[in-house]
Structure 1
Amino acid sequence: MTFAQTRGTLKGKVVSSKNEPAANVSVGLEGTGFGSTTNDLGEFSFRAPAGTYKIIISYVGVETVQVPVTITAGAVTDVSEIKVNAKLSQLTEVNVIASRANKFTARVSTDAAKIPLAPLENAQSYTTVTGELLKEQQVFNVEDALRNAPGIQKMWDATGRAGDGGGYFTLRGFTTQTRVRNGIAGLVTSGIDAVNLEKIEVIKGPSATLFGSNVTSFGGLINRVTKKPYESFGLEIGHTVGNYDLNRTSIDLNTPLGANVAFRLNSSYNYEGSFQNYGKSRTFALAPSLAIKATDKLSFLLESEMFFSRTAAKPFFFFYDSPKAMGITNVSQLNINYKNAYSNDDVTSYSRSLNYFATANYKFSDKFTSQTVFSSSNSFSNGPSPYFYLITDATAATLAPGTPDLPGNNNYIFRNDQSTFNSKLNAIEIQENINGDFNTGSLRHRFVVGLDFQRQNSNQIFYGNAYGVVPINDPSFDYGSFNKLLVDKTNAANPISAATVYPYIYRTNTYSAYASDVINLTETLIASLGARVDRYENKGNYSYTGDQTTAPFNQTAFSPKLGLVYQPIKDQLSLFGNYQNGFVNPGVYNNSEGTPLVAKLQNANQIEGGVKLGLFNGKLNGTLSYYRIRLTNVLRADPNSPVFGQIQDGIQISKGFEAEIISNPIASINIVAGFAYNNSKFTAGSPDVQGLRPNTAGSPYLGNFYVSYRLPGSVIKGMGLGIGGNYASKNKVINSVSQGTFELPSYTVLNGNVFFDRAKYRFGLSANNFTNKHYYTGFTTINPQKLRQFVLSASYKL
């Protein structure tokens, strides 16, 4: 009773610059964890200890508002309307919270369910990596940012090839890439610069019902949420230096262009060498955006992303001879020189990604809105991409007669490249979403009904050359001789022709309709159901000379989705479960006799259940979940086919447990931590892999953590430090009866940083992989990763 008497009630309302109610945003008290979320009318109410505070509403792109308030024990304090100088679309997109105490949380997502939902209302697991976390860690690309998400592991760096979609990751036992931007297709060829990112969402499990099959995988998807224009002036200019010749300059400029128009430009130039003896990359990102409010009901957002890169390939080691034939099972048995790039850094490829987006939002009423989206994604690449085969000494003698034969020592590699020749992948998407939020009797409905059209036009041309057998680790050998002069000479001797290229020339259309409804059966019991119908049209595959190589075909898919959320403690604790579906159109394959057949749809069905936390006024957030995914109709090689035929009878089961905690135990400390276990194996299909873990599944055990400490303001205002790291268990990149098993070793990589962040300027110093750990990633490959790097950044803000 005494405790209750020391508290009072704070109530009020948050509105946008146009006096529109700001729903689903968070409000709290400076320096505390006390707060609440506004309702549909922008109203909030919560209890807090008696005392004098400040309500501070502050976020990137939103003018800071400070409202002093005194809470009286046993009384109600009404702060009336709090007006924020921002558009309603911004306030529903981001978390507007006082003091950003738990600054690494994001409380509302508009993309994960295509409906604005708080995490505790969503029956699906997803992780959000916030812009504040990226800034504090001095992370400049998506690949590095994802080290903060549990259950996802990098497999390959971005290849720079058109259509590849950036780096390769494994999630819940299946490979995935970063192909989604603000909920729709946004393909990128090279590594993805984070200069224009507000946050990254890792949406877990097969998600074809809302996102289709072209941009998702059976394990989930990675969604980039970008920065948007706002209605006041802002400027931040930054420069970064580091070892390995790192030099980076970035700008974030926002300016209003009249009463109802705002423009924003994010751009960066990045140059970096390599921890190896050769290797360099140059990238340029340009992301302008324009927001137009035509009327009180109609607004437009025009955006573009332009990424350009000229990079030397990072070394990829493949197995030409199987690990079993080589008599090896792990990296320590090889003679790879970790710091040798094995090719000169003038062997570079060029890639370009040009993405354009247009969004029209229309408000029919307070209960119904429309969003029409157009996107155009255009990727291009040209140039060589070296890779290396691991071979036995006996194979070396066969490939290069006269090479000394030293059986069993594995002293040679076979140098190759897979070049792209003016390769292009162009895609357009048109999507219409109607969102509603209304009641039927006592039931609240939040729904989306959508239509989607996607077209892909691929003209990807691959070709390869061999560059001889060389010793794998010989200090006297000139590895820089694999240079541009040699590549140009070899290409001239083997000109591009129909006989030397490997074309991926095709056109596809996909027509989709989907619907999803989130129903509040009671205040604490929420059900969701959704479905998608997908019509896929493949217009056929073509040769380099334009001849049709496979006939056109059509397929129709149906994808359902169900979910249930129960909150024993409203807005603080939820129990959730879901059934989700994903599918892929594999295309045409040759059967055992060599007859081309249209493959059946590959279908993945997931059952998931768990707990989501938002306890202690947002100081303890997290998700604990168990999932099981069953994938059917997996294609496999027929070992008895004389024409390299395939059989479609495989089944893969992937199940596991994931845990994520985002905590703010005291005002000065923030913690992000995660753990994931995945058990994946083939249960039917090829005897060669049945019962074994797929090489796409990565490490069974993954862990991540980051602890941030900000010194009290009375000591040095704005000073803080952080330390974090990642753990991955052994990774079987080759795993079959015929090939043997080859494991990459487990690793723990540690990172640290210190920062000084004030209103007008910011300084930061990071030490990435500060223990200088030698470690590898890959699937079917061995890819050495970056050693210790120090990064120093400075920025000026207006």
Structure 2
Amino acid sequence: MSYIRSRKHNPARIAALVAATLSFGANAASETNEAADQLPEVNVTATPEVPFKANTSASSKFTKPLIDTTQTVQVIKKEVLREQGVISLTDALRNTPGITMQLGENGNTSAGDTFSMRGFATQNSLFVDGIRDLGAVTRDVYNLEQIEVVKGPAGADIGRGAASGYVNLISKLPSLDSVNMATISYGTADKKRATIDLGEKLGDTVAVRLNAVGFDGNVDKRDEVENQNFSIAPSIAFGLGTPTRLYLYSQHVRQDNVPDGGIPTIGMSGFYNASTSLNGGRKVDRENFYGSDNDYEKVDADMFTAKFEHDLNDKTTVRNISRYGKTNMDRVATGINTGATGLVAVTADPATWTVNRSRQRIDRDDEILVNQTSLNTMFDLAGFKNTFTGGLEFMYESQKSKGFGTTAQTVNGVTYAAISNPAANLYNPNSNDLLGIPYAIPGTDTDGRTITAAMYAFDTVDITDKWQVNAGLRYEHYNTKTNGGTIVTATNQAQFPGYAVGSIAPTKGSNSDNLLSWKVGGLYKPAPNGSIYASYATSYTPPGSANFALSATANNQNNGAMDPQKTDNVELGTKWDILNNQLNLTAAVFSTENSKQASFDDQGQAVQNGRTRVNGIELMAVGQLTKAWQLSAGITEMRAKALDQQNDTGVVTDGVRWTPETSATVWSQYSFGDFTLGGGARYMGEQKRLVTKVDASTQNMPEIPSYWAADAMASYKVNKQLNLRLNVYNIFDKEYIETLNNGGGRVRLGQPRSALLTAEFMF
């Protein structure tokens, strides 16, 4: 804390002098000086910036500072990402507990950022500046000011599909302060990366900014797997520092990657196969690549945004934001099958053992068009202070996926040959093996889209200086339509009367409904720097919410005849800013239940009474302990359980996949003059794959074992223009499973010990 004590610059004295001059004229100046000299001294407090800690959200939907917000919100600032040497969004999210990464179904590998939070899938709840972000993209952090992780059902905030919260990415935008920074990095596995952040004023109220990144590199201890990314984000702002402001900005991503299908789980703890000889097999080399030299993943993503803001007065602001975005992902990836028939041991010699391979092809377009208008204001009503925000949102979203085949068949008179995928040698795979690429089948594409019209409102009422109540709601009407085509076979012909075997029957689905999501909270402030709160919130996930692809299969959760799933959440918590408001401490106890899930009753009849319940507690500390000592830490304890869920054969599901009981993360750093040393660790508890009541000893890899990993950082400030930093990841070279596929036969191991050296230039 600093104080301005100089009488020479005393603002009260200056104000008195001006007032006296206007009132009495020049002849009274000497008397005014004497009066001013007798005025009390005024202390002006300058609150120092805290690099890791945020006091407010960048979202216009939050009506109060974070300490007075009645739900768990963690803000990961760009300073944290820079010090940790973070490149991707998934790496950035390791700073918050309760998030796990996903690999995908059997034979397939999930594309883009795929993760769950507090026991529920969250990859379709990604937002950029408050607007839903579509597309299978592995997101880079180069253009992010901060990442806001909002936990708990958030239907009132963002609409459908927000069962456990959402992640809001805040873009870097122009300002009147010049920003000029560049980085050059080189790391293990020949990783090369460069970024630039340029910001300049073009006048008193106009500024531009340009962010860009280039990356090319392999993946540590993985043969053949590599990633390339070039992205650019230009922006311009008009009217800065005035009541009327306009921001025009865009982002353009070009990625060219080799997808990683992982390695077989043979030899790992928990591996099981019906073949006795395979159960005694050793682990494969983690560097083994079971794909093809022809595997590829190409991503083109473009986003254009216009944001208009106008201050009607010092308490009221009107905003309008419009966005168009389109993403194409074209991908051919190789998966491996290590189930009962996937691994083959025909001899006693392991050198001849093989593993089956399959090819996955995706050619998908995601498109979004949004217009959002909002109002933020403060007013007094019946003697109570109200902080209000409300708005309207209109949104068009679509996903188009091409249909592909791999088997020998005749469709509409065209004969397709089977795609040949020779098995790979288990311990010595050859990426030069000739593998077939799935062929396109005209007429089998899937085209889904959703149109949404919504209105929302949030209000916080200050009952007294110590008591606040808040409420929010969102009413939306959605309309989802899916058009596709299904190949008619002898097996399914009865479902398509009038269509011959080998023809393509058009399939259509539609679903529309009105949803009303809401939240309510109460907050007590025992002190200005602390709060205690309770809240209740709801959200809905209608059929086809994730990809707008409605299913014709009975009892499928995406069948248009299904009711939306409903999520309810109760949270009790407290938040405190301590150490002169430099360190924020939060604690929350929560209970979330998702209902209306597809299931079967004891007679094998389809019902919608399945539930998932997650109870937990979360603790976090973010900020600084001293001016030189920074801290970001969190721990979550969860108990997840599936209720009233079983399949049509009576197998009961009682667990929740990929939901560890304990997850924790900590990062701390200390500065010694121009030197800074930092380090951290993350712990992930056991994650269940097997969640049904069956004999676990006969199931392959029933869980991901618990693990921990530690990172370290050292930096040196050479001068005002140059900073050098070395990041070392997984310093103890702990081997752990990061993701496991749903069948338990394929894993992706966590990052081994690796390093990245970065030079930062300020100019």
For 1:192, what is the secondary structure of its paired residue?
Answer: coil
On the 8 A contact 1:206/1:582 being kept in 2, the answer is yes
Counterpart contact for 1:417–1:464, Cα < 8 Å: no
Q: 2:513 aligns with which of 550, 555, 558?
A: 555
Aligned residue for 1:497? 441
Q: Cα distance, 1:98 vs. partner?
A: 4.4
Q: Encode CA deviations 1:204-249: one digit per residue, 9 max, x unaligned.
A: 0110112112xx5311111111111012433212110011010011
- State the 1:478 CA deviation: 4.0
* Residue of structure 1 equivalent to 2:662: 701
In the alignment, what sits opposite 2:676? 720
- Kindly indicate whether the alpha-carbon contact (under 8 Å) linking 1:250 and 1:266 is maintained by their aligned counterparts in 2: yes
- Alignment match of 1:447 (pick from 388, 402, 407): 388
In the TM superposition, what is the alpha-carbon distance from 1:783 to its structure 2 partner?
A: 1.8
Match of 1:583 in 2: 540
Structure 2 Cα separation of the partners of residues 200 and 152 of structure 1: 14
| Partner SS, residue 83 of structure 2 | helix
The answer to whether the 8 Å contact 2:291/2:333 transfers is no
Picking from 753, 760, 784, the partner of 2:749 is: 784
Pick closer, same or farther for the CA change 1:347–1:145 going to 2, 3 Å. same
Matched ranges for 1:399-548 at <5 A? 404=346, 412-421=354-363, 423-463=364-404, 465=406, 468=421, 470=423, 473-474=426-427, 477-482=428-433, 486-487=434-435, 490-491=436-437, 495-498=439-442, 503-543=445-485, 548=506
Q: What residue ranges of structure 1 are gaps of 5+ in the alignment?
A: 1-5, 13-73, 81-96, 398-402
Per-residue displacement from partner, 1:333-372 (whole Å, max 9, x unpaired)? 8734322122245421211111111111112222221111
CA distance in 1, matches of 2:349, 2:593: 43
Name the CA shift for 1:547/1:620 in 2 (closer, same or farther; >3 Å): same
- Any idea what SS the aligned residue of 1:665 has? strand
Q: What is the aligned residue count?
A: 680
Question: Counterpart in 2 of 1:671?
Answer: 631
User: Structure 1's 7 and 704: CA in aligned 2 closer, same or farther, altered over 3 A?
Assistant: closer
8 A Cα contact 1:689 1:735, kept in partner: no
- The equivalent position to 1:735 in structure 2, one of 668, 691, 694, is 691
- Could you say what secondary structure the match of 2:690 adopts? strand
Which of 1 and 2 has greater Rg? 2
Q: CA deviation at 1:157?
A: 9.5
Structure 1 residue aligned with 2:120, among 174, 193, 197? 174
Amino acid of the structure 1 residue aligned with 2:564: L
Matched, 1:382 2:302: no
Equivalent residue letter for 1:222: V
For residues 326 and 6 of structure 2, the distance between their equivalents in structure 1, rounded to whole angstroms, comes to 49
8 Å CA contact 2:174–2:235 kept in 1: the answer is: yes
Does structure 1 residue 252 correspond to structure 2 residue 197?
yes
The AA in structure 2 aligned to 1:562 is V
Residue 767 of structure 1: how far off its partner (Å): 0.4
Tell me the residue number matched to 1:280: 226
Among residues 287, 290, 297, which one is paired with 1:349 in the alignment? 297
Partner of 2:500 in structure 1?
Answer: none
Q: Which moved more, 1:677-686 or 1:599-608?
A: 677-686
Find the aligned partners of 1:681 and 1:169 in 2 and give their Cα distance. 19
Q: Is the contact made by 2:342 and 2:355 (CA closer than 8 Å) also made in structure 1?
A: no
Residue 632 (structure 1) aligned to one of 595, 598, 609: 595
CA contact (8 A) 1:376 1:429 kept: yes
1:93-492 to structure 2, matched below 5 A, reads: 98-100=47-49, 102-111=50-59, 114-115=61-62, 117-156=64-103, 166-177=112-123, 179-213=126-160, 216-274=161-219, 275-293=221-239, 296-316=242-262, 326=274, 335-392=283-340, 394=341, 404=346, 412-421=354-363, 423-463=364-404, 465=406, 468=421, 470=423, 473-474=426-427, 477-482=428-433, 486-487=434-435, 490-491=436-437
What displacement does 1:188 show?
4.4
| SS of residue matched to 1:145 | helix
Counterpart CA distance in 1 for 2:6 and 2:135 is: 45
Structure 2 contact 205–242 (Cα < 8 Å) conserved: no
Contact 2:404 2:441 in 1 (8 A): no
1:612-635 deviation line (CA, Å, top 9, x unaligned): 111221233121111111111112
Q: Tell me, in whole angstroms, the C-alpha distance in 2 between the residues paired with 1:11 and 1:135.
A: 38
Deviations 1:485-536 (A, max 9, x none): x34xx23xx631148x6x4311210111111101111122111101111111
SS in structure 1 of the partner of residue 157 of structure 2: helix
Bigger drift between 665-674 and 444-453 goes to 665-674
Code of the aligned partner of 2:541: V
CA-CA distance at 1:586 after TM superposition: 1.4
In the alignment, the residues of structure 2 paired with residue 735 and residue 553 of structure 1 have an alpha-carbon distance, to the nearest angstrom, of 31
Deviation at 1:411, TM superposition (A): 5.2
Q: Percent identity?
A: 20
1:384 is displaced (CA, Å) by 0.1
CA gap of 1:380–1:471, structure 2 versus 1, over 3 A, is: closer
Instruction: Give the CA deviation at 1:318.
Output: 8.6
Structure 1 counterpart of 2:654, from 680, 692, 701? 692
Say if 2:135 and 2:328, in contact at 8 Å, map to a contact too: no
Aligned residues: CA RMSD: 3.6
TM-score, with normalisation over the residues of structure 2?
0.82
Displacement, 1:481?
2.3
Per-residue deviation, residues 61-119 of structure 1 (Å, max 9, x unmatched):
xxxxxxxxxxxxx9742449xxxxxxxxxxxxxxxx7443x4210011131x6135311
Query: Residues 396 and 469 of structure 1 are in contact (CA less than 8 Å); yes or no, is this contact kept in structure 2?
Result: no
- Measure how far apart 1:549 and its partner are: 1.1
Equivalent-residue separation in structure 2 for 1:459 and 1:739 (angstroms): 41
Pairwise CA distance, 1:279: 0.8
Contact 1:8 1:75 in 2 (8 A): no
For the residues of structure 1 that align with 2:83 and 2:255, how far apart are their CA atoms?
Answer: 26
Of 570, 580, 599, the residue aligned with 1:607 is 570
Q: 1:304–1:357: 8 Å Cα contact kept in structure 2?
A: yes
Residues 1:294 and 1:278: Cα distance change in structure 2 (over 3 Å)? closer
Q: Is the 8 A contact 1:335 1:411 kept in 2?
A: no
Q: How many angstroms does 1:550 deviate by?
A: 2.4
- CA 1:199 to 1:592, structure 2 compared with 1: closer, same or farther past 3 Å? closer
Q: Is the 8 A contact 1:575 1:611 kept in 2?
A: yes
Which runs of structure 2 are paired with 1:760-779 in the superposition (5 Å)?
Answer: 760-778=721-739
Q: Distance in 1 between matches of 2:292 and 2:167?
A: 33
Query: What TM-score comes out, normalization by structure 1 length?
Result: 0.78
CA contact (8 A) 2:664 2:682 kept: yes
